[in-house]
Amino acid sequence: MNDFIEELWSQFAIETQEHIEEIELHLVNAEQNGISAELVASLFRAFHSLKGLATAMDMHSFARLAHRAEDILGVIRDGDFPMNSDVVSLLLAALDEMKMLQLSAVTSHTNVDANSQLLEHLAETFTSMECSAVPRVTPVYAETLTAAPPLQSDPEMLTYFVELAREKIAVISRLLDPFCTLPERADLMQSPECIAQATEEIEQLSYAAKTMDFLNLVVILAHLREALSGNQQKAITECLWELHDQIRYIEHSSGIPDVGANSLHTILTDVMHTNVQRLFTRVLDHLDALQFGGRDGDDLLIAQALQADLSGLNSHLAFFMYSPTCNIILMLEDVFSRAARGELHLFGEILEMTRDEVTHVMEHYRDCSDGGVCARDKAEIASNLQRIHDYIWAYESGCGVVNPIETFRQFMGELNIEPELLKILSPENVRDLMQALEKGEHIFEVTAHLESNEEMTAHFLAWIETGRSRIITNRSLFINDMSWYEMLIVSPLSRIEISQGIQTIDPGGAYLTLKPWSGGIPEREQLLKAIEDTPERQLRIVETVASSGNVLRVQGETLDGFMNLIGEMVLARSRLSHIINHERLSKQVVRLKQQRTGNDPDSDELLELLVEHRNDLMEVDQLLNAALRRLQESAVGLRVVPVEMVFKRLPRIVRDLSMSQGKRVRLEMSGQEVKIDKAMVEILTDPLLHMIRNSIDHGVEMPDVRAMAGKSKEAVIRVSATQRGSGIIIEISDDGMGIDTDKVLGKAIERGLVQRDIAVSLSREAIMRFIFEPGFSTAAVVTETSGRGVGMDVVMTNVKRLGGSISVDSTAGRGSTFTLEMPLSAAIQDVLMVEAAGTILALPGRYVAEVVEIAADELQSVRGEQAILLRGAFLPLHRLSTLLGYPSAAAERCDGIAVVLTNGSQTIGLAVDKVLRRQELFIKEIQESVTAIPGVGGASVLGNGRVVLILDGEDLLRIAKSGAGRL
C-alpha cells in the first residue's frame, strides 16, 4: 500500500473520530438539557460528513448507517418532529455501531456489514417520524432556470455587497485621503504604490457593483480610477464626492445606514477644511516670497504656484458656498495667471491688495466655519472687485509690457480697421473683443452720421440693441463739416445680415456706411492662434521634487511616551547589569575557584557552569545595552524638525515691520534644513523675532538715507542656521547703520551702567555687551515693537537660561551681525526619576552612573562614613532626602536602592526609596527662588501635571562633600 493511501486512511481515522466525538457529546448533552436548532443542524452536518467520508473510502455499511441517522436528524431539523430520549437512544446506538465499523475500517480497511436490525430500526423510525409529521407541500423546483431577478433585490446579496463596499470604501478613502489633502508643498507627488493599491481596491468594488447592477457606481469608480492614474487631485476629490452621493443612495435604498457615506463625508469635509487652511497659508507664503523673497528669476514660477493655489482655494470655497467671496479669489486668480504668463508685472500694490483680500477672505472663512454668518458687505466686495479690476487694466494700459493685447491690435490692423480707432481701444475693449470673437461673433466698422436724422438714429440704435450687437468703441470725426461717428461693433450677425440691416435703416446710404474688410472676416481660430504663438505664453515648467518617502505623523505625546518607555527599559537594563556584575557573586566565584580541590567533580562542574552562564549573561547584557543605546538615539532623532519651522514666521514679521516704518527690507534665509529639537522651536522663536525686530528698528535705515549713504534702497537681512557639533548657530545680519559704539557708551554712562573714567578703557566687545543690559535702548524713536529697551536683555536671559550664548558684531555704517549659539536640545534633559521621602525627584541623567541594590550586610563604615564596596572601590553613601534637608523618618534604613552619582572625579551613592524610570524632561521656566534651594537646578511638569524638581548634580556632589546626609 502506498504512502498516499496510508495517509488518507489515517486522516480518515482522525476526521471520523472527531465527528463521532462531537456527535456523542451533543447527543448526551441533548438527553439531559434538551437541544437547540443550531445543535441539531451541526449534528446533521456531522452525520452527513461521516457519510461522505465513508462513501469516499468505500465503507458502505458505515455510510448507510450515517445516512439513516442523517435522515432522522433532517426531519428534526425541519421542525417536524421533536428530539426525544427515544431518538437520542437510537442515534447513540447507531453511533456505537459506527464506532465499531470505523475501527475495523481504520485497522483493516475493509467494509464490515452493519447490524441489520439496527439499520431496520433506524429506517422504521424515520418512516414513522415522517408520517406523523405535518404534511408539507414540498416545492418542486424546475430544472430550467427562469430569468434570475436582479441581485439587488436579494437582501442577503445586498448585505454582502454592503459589507464589501464598507470595507472597500474605508480602504479607498484612507488611501485617497492624502491625495485629496494638499501636501504642505505643492510639488509633492503621491507614491505609485498607493495609487496601485487604491486602483486595485477600486477595481474590486467596481466588480462587485457591476455584479449588483449598480451601474452609476461603476461609472463613478471608472472615473475615479482614471483621475487616479492621472494623479489629478481635483478630479479625485470630485469623484469621491460623487462616490459619496452614490453610497448615500445605496444606503437609502438598502435601508442599511452605515455603508460609509458618513465617514466619506467627514473625511472629505475635513480634508477640504485642511486644504483651505493650507491654501491660505501657501498663498500668503507665496506672497511673502514675491514681496520679500528677492529671488527675481523665480517670480513667474511663484506667480504660477500662487495662481494654482488660488484656483484650488476658489474651488474649495465654492464648496462651502462663499460665493461672493469666491469672486474675489477668482479675480485674483486671473491677476496671477496673467502674472504667470508675464503679461502683468507684479508690483507692490497688487501684492498688498491681494494680501489684504486673502486675509479678509480667510477671516471671513474662519467666521463662517465657526458657525458665524457670512456678514461681509456685498457692496464692499463689489468695490474690492472693482479695485482689483481697475488695477489690472490701469496697469496694463499704462505699461509697455509686450502682451497679447499688442498682438491683437496688430491682428486687427491687418483687418483694415481704422488705426485711429485701434489706438483708442482700452484693454477692456480688447478683452471684450476677444471674448466676442471667441464666442464666434464678428467685428464691423460702421461710420454713421447721427445728428441730422433723429428718427434714423433711434432706429439704428434700436437695431443694434435688438440684434444683440454691441458698440465696442467709437470716435467722432468731421467729414465735409458734418459730425460723424466711427464705430467698432461686435455682433453675432453675419456680414450679410448687417449689411441688409443697414440698408433697411438707411436705404439711401447717406448716413450709414459699413466699412469693407480687406482681409475678410476675422476667423476665431486664426485669432486664437495668433495669441497662442506669442512667446509670453510659453511658460516655464515647475520643477517637481519626488516625495521623500512616506511621512508618518506622530503626536508629540506619543513620542514622549515612547521615550519614557525606552527610559524604563534602560533602567531595567542597568539593574540587570548590576545583578550580573554583582560584587558578591564575583567574589564568590573567585573564592570557589581558589578553594577548588579537584576532588569534587560535581561542584567543579557547577562552578564552570556558573562562570559560563555569567559570561553569557554579560555578553547578552552588552548586546542589549548597545541595542538600547541605538534605540534611544534613533528615538531622539524622531524629535527633530527643520529650523524652517522657526524661520517661516520671519518673512511676515519683516514685511509688516518694514512696511509700517516705511523701510524696504529683503529677507534672505539659508540653512532652513538644519535640524533642531522640536521643543526648541518655541524657544528659538521669541529671541529670533526680537532680534529681527531689533535689526529693522535700529539697524535698517530709511530708503532715502540709504540712498544718500550710497547703499541700495532695499536693505538685506540675512538669517542663517548652521549646525556645529552638538549646537546650532543662528546668525542674523543686516546691512544697516550698524551699532554706534560711542552712542552705546554714552547711553551706558548716562544710565550709570559704567563709570565715565572706566568707559574709555572698555573694549569694543565690552561696549557691545551693554545692549543686552535691561532697559537699554539707543533708539531715538520708541516704536511699537522695540526701542523701549525691553528685548535684547530678555533675549539674553532666555538664551542663557537654555545654555546658549549670544554675541554681536557690528561695523558702524555697514551693519550688524548677531550670533546665537544654542545647544541642539537645550531644554531637554535626560533624567532619572526617583522617589525620596515621598517626593518625586529628577536626577540629571548625565551624572547617573548606575543604580545599585544594597543589602544591609554590605554596608561598611569607612572613616566614619557609610559606604559599600563597589567593584573594588568604596562608595560613600548618602541619603538623598537628608542631603536635600528633608526630614526623613526612614533615615535609619540603610538597605535598599542607591543611585551612583558621579561627575568623573567624585562619586557618591545616593540612597533613595524608589527608582522610578529614566525619562526626558522639558525644563520649564521657573522662578529664581526655586533654583536658590541647595541641590535644585530646575523644575519640570510631568504629564499628570505634577511638578517635579530637577536636581543639580554638581550641587548634590558639593553638598555630599560637606558631609551632609551621610548614612
Contact residues: other proteins, CB under 8 A: 4-5, 7-8, 11-12, 14-15, 42, 45, 48-49, 51-53, 55-58, 139, 141, 143, 145, 148, 151, 154, 156-157, 160-161, 164, 204, 207-208, 211-212
C-beta of 53 vs 182, nearer to other proteins? 53
Compute the distance between CA of residue 162 and CA of residue 438 in angstroms, rounded to an integer: 49
C-beta of 55 vs 457, nearer to other proteins? 55
Non-local CB neighbours of 405 within 8 Å, separated by 6+ positions: 396, 427, 430
User: Shortest distance, CB of residue 224 to other proteins, whole angstroms?
Assistant: 18
C-beta of 144 vs 927, nearer to other proteins? 144
Residue 838, C-alpha cell as written in the block: 515621598
User: Shortest distance, CB of residue 52 to other proteins, whole angstroms?
Assistant: 5
Q: Is 214 exposed, middle or buried (0-12, 13-18, 19+ CB in 10 A)?
A: buried
User: Shortest distance, CB of residue 913 to other proteins, whole angstroms?
Assistant: 55
C-beta of 41 vs 638, nearer to other proteins? 41
C-beta of 247 vs 898, nearer to other proteins? 247
Compute the distance between CA of residue 412 and CA of residue 428 in angstroms, rounded to an integer: 15
User: Shortest distance, CB of residue 106 to other proteins, whole angstroms?
Assistant: 12
CA distances from 11 to 17, 51, 97, 413 (A): 10, 15, 20, 97
C-beta of 135 vs 139, nearer to other proteins? 139
Non-local CB neighbours of 654 within 8 Å, separated by 6+ positions: 292, 665, 667, 692, 696, 717
User: Shortest distance, CB of residue 160 to other proteins, whole angstroms?
Assistant: 5
Compute the distance between CA of residue 910 and CA of residue 854 in angstroms, rounded to an integer: 11
C-beta of 246 vs 469, nearer to other proteins? 246
Q: Is 176 exposed, middle or buried (0-12, 13-18, 19+ CB in 10 A)?
A: buried
C-beta of 208 vs 837, nearer to other proteins? 208
841 beta partners? 834, 949
The helix (run of H) or strand (run of E) holding residue 854 is strand 848-854
Reported for 108-115, long-range contacts at CB under 8 A and 24+ positions apart, including other chains, are 109/9, 109/57, 111/58, 111/59, 111/60, 111/61, 111/62, 112/61, 113/61, 114/61, 114/62, 114/64, 114/65
C-beta of 111 vs 359, nearer to other proteins? 111
User: Shortest distance, CB of residue 254 to other proteins, whole angstroms?
Assistant: 14
CA distances from 116 to 64, 416, 653 (A): 11, 117, 102
Provide the phi-psi class of 468: left if phi over 0, else alpha when psi is between -120 and 50, else beta.
Answer: left
User: Shortest distance, CB of residue 18 to other proteins, whole angstroms?
Assistant: 10
User: Shortest distance, CB of residue 616 to other proteins, whole angstroms?
Assistant: 44
649 DSSP assignment: T
The helix (run of H) or strand (run of E) holding residue 949 is strand 947-951
CA distances from 366 to 359, 361, 440 (A): 10, 8, 43
| Half-sphere CA count of 966, side-chain side, radius 13 A | 17
Distance of CA 573 to the CA centre of its chain: 35
SS3 string, 557-589, reads: HHHHHHHHHHHHHHHHHHHHHHHHCCHHHHHHH
Taking every pair of Cα atoms in the chain, the longest distance, rounded to a whole number of angstroms, is 147
- CB contact at 8 A, 654 and 292: yes
Residue 738, C-alpha cell as written in the block: 550698524
Q: Is 643 exposed, middle or buried (0-12, 13-18, 19+ CB in 10 A)?
A: buried
User: Shortest distance, CB of residue 68 to other proteins, whole angstroms?
Assistant: 14
C-beta of 157 vs 401, nearer to other proteins? 157
Compute the distance between CA of residue 121 and CA of residue 90 in angstroms, rounded to an integer: 8
User: Shortest distance, CB of residue 208 to other proteins, whole angstroms?
Assistant: 4
User: Shortest distance, CB of residue 14 to other proteins, whole angstroms?
Assistant: 8
C-beta of 91 vs 208, nearer to other proteins? 208
User: Shortest distance, CB of residue 29 to other proteins, whole angstroms?
Assistant: 18
- CB contact at 8 A, 436 and 528: no
Residue 664, C-alpha cell as written in the block: 524696504
C-beta of 12 vs 292, nearer to other proteins? 12
C-beta of 24 vs 406, nearer to other proteins? 24
User: Shortest distance, CB of residue 120 to other proteins, whole angstroms?
Assistant: 23
* Burial letters 757-796, b for 16+ CB under 10 A, else e: eebeebeeeebbbbbbbeebbbeeeeeebbbebebbbebb
Compute the distance between CA of residue 697 and CA of residue 779 in angstroms, rounded to an integer: 8
- CB contact at 8 A, 181 and 197: no
302 beta partners? none
C-beta of 163 vs 954, nearer to other proteins? 163
User: Shortest distance, CB of residue 5 to other proteins, whole angstroms?
Assistant: 6
- CB contact at 8 A, 161 and 205: no
C-beta of 207 vs 347, nearer to other proteins? 207
C-beta of 45 vs 814, nearer to other proteins? 45
Provide the phi-psi class of 813: left if phi over 0, else alpha when psi is between -120 and 50, else beta.
Answer: left
C-beta of 53 vs 464, nearer to other proteins? 53
Residue 839, C-alpha cell as written in the block: 517626593
Task: Give the type of residue at 102.
Answer: Q
User: Shortest distance, CB of residue 17 to other proteins, whole angstroms?
Assistant: 12
Compute the distance between CA of residue 524 and CA of residue 436 in angstroms, rounded to an integer: 9
User: Shortest distance, CB of residue 57 to other proteins, whole angstroms?
Assistant: 6
User: Shortest distance, CB of residue 51 to other proteins, whole angstroms?
Assistant: 7
Compute the distance between CA of residue 766 and CA of residue 228 in angstroms, rounded to an integer: 64
User: Shortest distance, CB of residue 8 to other proteins, whole angstroms?
Assistant: 6
C-beta of 74 vs 404, nearer to other proteins? 74
